[in-house]
Structure 1
Amino acid sequence: MANNAPLKIALGASALALTASPAAATEDDLNVWAGQFVVADVDEDGDWFVRGEAQERFTNDADRLGQLLLRMLVGYRLNKDVSIGGGYAYILTDPVGPVKLNEHRYYQELNVRLFDRDGITLDSRTRLEQRTFEEGESTSWRFRNFVQLRVPVSENNKLVAYTEPFIELNETDFQRGGLSVWRNFAGVSIPIAERIEVVPGYLNQTVFREGENRMDHVANVNLFMSF
């Protein structure tokens, strides 16, 4: 019974995160998000690696491309369970009404495998971001902590669940400080070739705002490739 304690704790935390909802009134929106992620080793020992990704987010009842994200990272594996890295992202945000935003984001991250047994994994990604915008001069600092659980549900498939809060560390023209976004996801991994998988699922995103919050109900499909 004691050997199952980490799994029970992880499953309980994931269930709580996925069922939690903010107490304040919310404005709902239907989204469709697609993502493509590639990780490639760049040396023979596999210590250094690069990661690239693109994400397309269709918002306003999935009627238009509301956000495009392009991101890259150079990382180093300290050991089999821990890696560090830093990178850059360009984000074009095109909301209905307000002006378009062109964001240039620099970030550093720490990745840690917290648990790994019997095909069950629990991973943490801690990320610090410095967000700059062409439409302004200030730098917005933001902290994110992503925790993901994977549990086998068949010979080839795994349940995938994660939670990720976003905390703004200062006040600028582009952020007001404090908890700004919370994402929770549940889906399933589907391998389609060696080291290639697709993960479809449901993502719930709450955007905390002055007054009425916004809740995005997202049909999310991500493609992961590693080499």
Structure 2
Amino acid sequence: MLRLQRSRPIWDAPLLIALSAATPAAAATSETQGWMTESVIVKASDADTVLIDTSQRFRQDSSNGDQQVARISLDHRIATGVQIGGGFAYFHSGPEQEMRLFQQLSMAKGIWLARTRIEQRFFDTADKASWRLRQRVQASVPLDRARQWTLVAATELMFQLNRAKPSDKLGLAVMRNQIGLRHPITKALDAQLLYMRQQTFRDGKPDAVAHIPWLTLSWKI
């Protein structure tokens, strides 16, 4: 007897979109970067979490050189597995500075985490705010019973909603694919090492692809 297949979870949709767009452009430019992030996670209450982090991004001159990032955000749980939040970030590099506001919705179920974020980006090289939509889906799969090692895989799509600069590309502008491992060093400290492939889509010239090893150290308070 013919059996109906179960529908795929809604979490899979962004992954399918990313896979369909993941074929690199034949003439894409390529570079290697290195990122490091230090974060502090504060449980402010049963429903509120504060995240403070800094990042150092070691980049080539063609990508505006090295960049330093400072960010703070607050997430509030409104239901089981559902959080709303927002925050502020500052990005510093030689050619330009950026101040960023963002609002986000996060949903978690089992190994899956999905996040939708809206950003307002203010550059000192642009006269108006740049609006961007980011959709991220992540899977965290424990590799052992003690949960000492966790496989982390994620896809994030970034959509440019307006043109703050003439060079801005409307629609799908950036795609990030990540895979790596997370491991607790102490009860309060986790280390995560990822490989990230970042593809920036550009009008009228080759896409820019960056290959990025990314180390994150997270302290929980």
| TM-score, reference length from structure 2 | 0.84
Larger strand share, 1 or 2: 1
CA distance in 2, matches of 1:79, 1:183: 28
Match of 2:218 in 1: 224
Q: For residues 5 and 186 of structure 1, do their structure 2 counterparts lie closer, same or farther at Cα, with a shift above 3 Å needed? A: farther
Match of 1:33 in 2: 35
| Paired residue secondary structure (1:193) | coil
| Paired residue secondary structure (1:194) | coil
In the TM superposition, 1:48-59 aligns within 5 A as 48-59=48-59
Q: Does 1:112 align with 2:107?
A: yes
Deviations 1:23-44 (A, max 9, x none): 342111011111112221223x
| Paired residue secondary structure (1:78) | strand
Q: For residues 18 and 163 of structure 1, do their structure 2 counterparts lie closer, same or farther at Cα, with a shift above 3 Å needed? A: farther
* 1:56–1:65 CA contact under 8 A, matched in 2: no
- Please report how far the alpha carbon of residue 81 of structure 1 lies from its aligned counterpart in structure 2 after TM superposition: 0.5
Match of 2:60 in 1: 60
Q: Alignment RMSD, CA only?
A: 2.6
Match of 1:199 in 2: 192
Which structure 1 residue ranges, 5 or more long, are not aligned? 95-99
Q: How many residues align?
A: 207
- Please report how far the alpha carbon of residue 142 of structure 1 lies from its aligned counterpart in structure 2 after TM superposition: 0.2
Match of 1:129 in 2: 119
Which structure 2 residue ranges, 5 or more long, are not aligned? 1-5
CA distance in 1, matches of 2:96, 2:144: 43
CA distance in 2, matches of 1:154, 1:18: 31
Q: Does 1:179 align with 2:166?
A: no
* 1:57–1:66 CA contact under 8 A, matched in 2: yes
| Paired residue secondary structure (1:138) | coil
Give the % identical residues.
30
Match of 1:97 in 2: none
Deviations 1:164-200 (A, max 9, x none): 0110001121623221111100001111011421111
Match of 2:3 in 1: none
CA distance in 1, matches of 2:168, 2:21: 27
Q: Which moved more, 1:168-177 or 1:216-225?
A: 168-177
CA distance in 2, matches of 1:57, 1:19: 26
Residue 97 of structure 2, aligned match among 97, 102, 105: 102
Q: Given residue 162 of structure 1, which amino acid in structure 2 is its aligned partner?
A: A
| TM-score, reference length from structure 1 | 0.82
- Please report how far the alpha carbon of residue 60 of structure 1 lies from its aligned counterpart in structure 2 after TM superposition: 2.1
Deviations 1:140-166 (A, max 9, x none): 100001111011112411110000011
